[in-house]
């Protein structure tokens, strides 16, 4: 299984939709925990790395260098 390298600023599509209807999230913090912000309503969530890697489907927009 390939290990994806997530970076701060990436826009990621998750498996489940947020209650607001959006399934895209912006990564604001990377480490043992991920801090992600909903692109639909702006809700901020902290999530442990294993749970985040299990729920993330794909990087929609990579972070700008």
Q: What is the pLDDT of residues 5-19, one digit of tens each?
A: 999 999 999 999 999
pTM above 0.85, yes or no: yes
Q: What pLDDT is attached to residue 1?
A: 53
Under the banding of pLDDT at 50, 70 and 90, the label for residue 50 is very high
CB 38 within 8 A of CB 49: no
Q: Say if CB 12 and CB 54 are below 8 A apart.
A: no
CA distance 2 to 43: 29
Which residue's structure tokens are 């909903």? Answer: 38
Q: Residues 20-40: pLDDT tens digits?
A: 999 999 999 999 999 999 999
∠50-52-59 over CA atoms, to 5°? 130
**Residue pair 49/9 in contact by the 8 Å Cβ criterion:** no
The domain ranges of the chain are 11-61
């Amino acid at each position: 299984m390939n290990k994806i390298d997530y970076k701060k600023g990436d826009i990621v599509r998750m498996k489940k939709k947020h209650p607001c209807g959006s399934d895209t999230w912006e990564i604001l913090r990377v480490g043992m925990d991920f801090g992600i912000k909903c692109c639909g309503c702006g809700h901020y969530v902290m999530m442990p790395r294993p749970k985040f890697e299990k729920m993330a489907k794909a990087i929609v927009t990579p972070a700008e260098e």
